[in-house]
Structure 1
């Protein structure tokens, strides 16, 4: 079966798909064409299902009822996650009055920050442009995702909020629900199960062949040193990535329960837009 698979130009996604896309892990069931896009572009593509399988933000589940959530391939922070950076330290009241650059309205980082501090003034931009916009004073602060969570000091900024740390304390240690992989529900449960196992095997292969998988992932390093990329990949390709388990499921449910309670997610529907997590 020929299928299209979307993932981001990020080192952790590349690491997960290394086995699959290089043919190190094969499948009799699928021939894969991969499509690489920024996460917010993938989120928007998924609202009018274009790709058979795609990485999306957990937040996007409120807008994409045509997909089923896979158990493998998720990006969950374990006590860490997105941060907010600025040129100087600020109080929480000052932050709430800031114009904050965000990496997209459908990103989980945006939803989580709203849950943390309430509504705020924001401007959307590509996540990779946010550190420079903060440094040059184009915005007051920036909501930072991906490897720039680790490189903000080298970029001349300071951390003023830790969204992942807040979630960890707020939920009693649930993993931070950031990114997941989804597959068109119309393809059927059997096909979805098979692909989920295929992706899981690819992730496990990468973890067992760490140096080779990291070398492959470095093509998406955006000029960052290997040590930083290795640290980032090890943060976001973890045991919950192989299979989200009960804790991963609970964290997804919890974020939408909180969004509903706070009326934050404007298109929230019961059971995150009728989506299900494949069993």
Structure 2
């Protein structure tokens, strides 16, 4: 079966899909065409289903009823996640009064920061533009994701809040739910399960062949060093990525329960693929 698969131009996604897209692991059931888009673009595409499988922010699952969340391929932080940056230290009250640059309204980073500090004024921009916008003074505060969580110091900005640490404490040690892969429910439970296993095999292969998978992922390094990209990739392609398991599912459900209580998302049915 021919299927379309969307992922981001990010090194961790590339690492996960390396074996699938280079035929290191094969499937008798699927022939894959991949589509590369920024995460917020993929979130928006999923609202009017264009792809059979796509990476999305966990937050986006509140708005995409035609998709089922896969158990493999999720981005979960283990006591780390998005961070809030500025050029100088700021209090929580000062941060709340600032216009904050965010990487998209449907990103999990945006939802998590609202859960942490309440609603705030914001401006959307591509995540890769946020560090320079903060450094140059275009905005006072920036919410950063991806490898900038590690490289912010090199970009002339500093960490003033750690969303990942806050979630770890608030949730009692659950992983930070950030990104997942979803598949169109119209394809049916059996095909969804088979693709979930196929993606899981690709992830396991990459984790067993790190140097080769990292060579592939470096195409999406955005000028960062191999050392930094390897650290970032291994942070976000972890055991919960292989299978979200009970802890990952509990974290996702908790985030949405908290968001519903605060009126940040409407009530909806969360659909998750059957256990692997």
- TM-score, length-scaled by structure 2: 0.99
State whether residues 69 and 278 of structure 1, in contact with CA within 8 Å, keep that contact through their aligned partners in structure 2.
no
Aligned 1:112-191 pairs, distance under 5 A = 112-191=112-191
Q: Tell me, what secondary structure is at the counterpart of 1:65? A: coil
Counterpart position of 1:277: 273
Counterpart position of 2:230: 230
Counterpart position of 1:73: 73
CA–CA distance in structure 2, aligned partners of residues 271 and 24 of structure 1: 36
Matched, 1:18 2:25: no
- What runs of 5+ residues in structure 2 fail to find an aligned partner? none
CA offsets 1:129-153 (integer angstroms, 9 cap, x no match):
0000000000011000000000000
CA offsets 1:200-246 (integer angstroms, 9 cap, x no match):
00000000100000010000000000000000001000000000000
Q: Tell me, what secondary structure is at the counterpart of 2:143? A: strand
CA offsets 1:137-196 (integer angstroms, 9 cap, x no match):
000110000000000000000000000000000000000000000000000000001000
CA offsets 1:250-270 (integer angstroms, 9 cap, x no match):
0000000000111122xx223
Counterpart position of 1:111: 111
State whether residues 189 and 273 of structure 2, in contact with CA within 8 Å, keep that contact through their aligned partners in structure 1.
no
Q: Tell me, what secondary structure is at the counterpart of 2:105? A: coil
Counterpart position of 1:6: 6
Q: Tell me, what secondary structure is at the counterpart of 1:183? A: strand
Q: Tell me, what secondary structure is at the counterpart of 1:114? A: helix
CA–CA distance in structure 2, aligned partners of residues 213 and 137 of structure 1: 37
RMSD: 0.7
State whether residues 193 and 273 of structure 2, in contact with CA within 8 Å, keep that contact through their aligned partners in structure 1.
no
CA–CA distance in structure 2, aligned partners of residues 256 and 27 of structure 1: 34
CA–CA distance in structure 2, aligned partners of residues 260 and 205 of structure 1: 38
State whether residues 71 and 245 of structure 1, in contact with CA within 8 Å, keep that contact through their aligned partners in structure 2.
yes
